[in-house]
Every structure is written in C-alpha cells, then in structure tokens.
C-alpha cells in the first residue's frame, strides 16, 4: 500500500511539473544598457519575442532567455 501511494505521489508531482507554463525574464537593449521588462509566460512570451516591446514610437527587440 505504501508503494502504491509513493508511485501515485511521484506521478502527480511529475504531472504538475510538466504542465507548468514556460516563463522567462525578458529585457531589451537601450543605448548599451539592459532594460528589464518583467517575466512573460506561454503565449505572452511568444508574442513579446515576435513583436518586440514598444516604447513611445520605437520598437525594441526583446530577449527572454539567458544566452
């Protein structure tokens, strides 16, 4: 019985970890400085990387993973 409970607990833990949305801290470069814009996850992460970050009338390329 303990073994079955342990196996069930491990399966639930793995499921919870695998369902977590992919999130990253994002930033853009401005005049040689890095400007942090926060954490983006899932579809929002894909959108900000694809379209960039707009400040006033300028659009900046966004970087969201450590390189």
pTM over 0.85: no
Q: Largest alpha-carbon pair distance within the chain?
A: 64
Compute the distance between CA of residue 28 and CA of residue 23 in angstroms, rounded to an integer.
16
C-alpha radius of gyration, the chain, whole number: 19
Task: State yes or no: pLDDT of 13 exceeds 80.
Answer: no
Which pLDDT score, from 0 to 100, does residue 26 have? Answer: 95
Which pLDDT score, from 0 to 100, does residue 44 have? Answer: 92
Structure letter (DSSP) for residue 65? S
Q: What is the mean pLDDT of residues 17-31?
A: 81
Mean pLDDT over the full length of the chain:
81
Nearest residue to 38 via CA among 15, 12, 64: 64
């Amino acid at each position: 019985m303990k073994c079955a409970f342990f196996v069930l607990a491990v399966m639930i833990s793995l499921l919870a970890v695998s369902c977590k949305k992919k999130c990253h801290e994002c930033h853009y470069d401005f005049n040689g400085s890095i400007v942090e814009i926060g954490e983006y996850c899932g579809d929002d992460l894909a959108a900000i990387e694809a379209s960039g970050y707009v400040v006033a009338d300028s659009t900046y390329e966004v970087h969201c993973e450590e390189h």
